[in-house]
């Protein structure tokens, strides 16, 4: 009996320490986010298709991306290098907490004629081509997985998503741990990528 209680406690502690990642302060993040608003929208609902939406994006993922831009090796972008360089780890956590607390407001423009193959791949993968279902990690509505830091994709812009999938494929974006995305995109054709991006743009939570 005591042993069971003890094991139960250990489990609680290990779950808590995984969640202990969330160190950001929403109010402090909101103040810092003013400078991000010009491109990403003040509440993270960017209005420009080449600037990703950050509203509802999970803190862990945001923190990891800011660190990657700052290091400028595995994910490079001139605009974001400039933005990420002055940020401390605490700033990044605060910004992540702030954007995570915001809500995605709408889908992104998409071509309904193009989404069929994307829907199929997203939800079921392709056994023959060894493509896993995207929803296994990104969730059926694209909500992602905050605990694991898998990004939210819901309603993200087509041009942005296409650019990222192509960057993983070309090997210019390499910050995916264990090549988790590079292995996936390797088997996607250009048409698959277009269709997936249009399907993702159509997702809502």
Cβ 31 to ligand HEC, closest distance in Å?
A: 11
If binding means CB under 6 A, how many residues of this protein chain bind ligand HEC? 38
- Which residues ranging from 70 to 99 are in contact with ligand HEC (CB under 6 A)? 77, 79-80, 83, 95
Q: Does 165 bind ligand HEC (CB under 6 A)?
A: yes
Q: Indicate which single residue of 39, 49, 67, 81 sits in contact with ligand HEC (rule: CB under 6 A).
A: 39
Q: Which residues contact 60 (CB under 8 A, 6 or more apart)?
A: 21, 22, 96, 146, 147, 148, 149
Query: Which structure tokens are listed for 198?
Result: 């249009």
Cβ 157 to ligand HEC, closest distance in Å?
A: 10
Q: How far apart are CA 1 and CA 160, in angstroms?
A: 54
The values of phi and psi at residue 124, to 5°, are -125, -10
Q: Does 64 bind ligand HEC (CB under 6 A)?
A: yes
Query: Which structure tokens are listed for 47?
Result: 């209005």
Q: Does 151 bind ligand HEC (CB under 6 A)?
A: yes
Q: How far apart are CA 46 and CA 54, in angstroms?
A: 8
Q: Indicate which single residue of 24, 70, 94, 150 sits in contact with ligand HEC (rule: CB under 6 A).
A: 150
Cβ 152 to ligand HEC, closest distance in Å?
A: 8
Which of 25, 24, 48 lies closest to 36 in space, CA to CA?
48
The values of phi and psi at residue 6, to 5°, are -60, -45
Which of 6/139 has CB closer to ligand HEC? 139
Cβ 9 to ligand HEC, closest distance in Å?
A: 30
Contact call for residues 161 and 150 (beta carbons, < 8 A): no
Contact call for residues 193 and 162 (beta carbons, < 8 A): yes
Q: Which residues bind ligand HEC (CB under 6 A)?
A: 35-36, 38-40, 50-52, 54, 62, 64-66, 77, 79-80, 83, 95, 121, 131-132, 134, 136-138, 150-151, 153, 161, 163-165, 175-176, 180-181, 184, 196
């Amino acid at each position: 009996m005591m042993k069971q209680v003890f094991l139960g406690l250990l489990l609680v502690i290990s779950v808590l320490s995984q969640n202990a990642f969330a160190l950001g302060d929403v109010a402090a993040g909101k103040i810092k986010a003013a400078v991000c608003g010009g491109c990403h929208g003040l509440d993270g609902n960017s209005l420009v298709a080449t600037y990703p939406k950050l509203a509802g994006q999970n803190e862990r993922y945001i923190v990891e991306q800011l660190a990657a831009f700052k290091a400028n090796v595995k994910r490079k972008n001139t605009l974001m290098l400039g933005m990420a360089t002055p940020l401390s780890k605490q700033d990044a956590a605060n910004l992540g907490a702030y954007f995570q607390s915001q809500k995605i407001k709408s889908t992104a423009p998409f071509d309904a004629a193009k989404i069929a193959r994307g829907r199929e791949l997203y939800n079921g993968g392709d056994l023959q081509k060894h493509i896993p279902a995207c929803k296994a990690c990104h969730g059926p509505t694209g909500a992602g997985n905050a605990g694991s830091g898998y990004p939210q994709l819901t309603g993200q812009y087509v041009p942005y998503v296409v650019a990222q999938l192509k960057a993983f494929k070309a090997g210019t974006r390499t910050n995916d741990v264990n090549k988790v995305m590079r292995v996936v995109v390797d088997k996607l054709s250009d048409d698959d990528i277009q269709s997936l991006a249009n399907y993702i743009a159509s997702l809502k939570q």
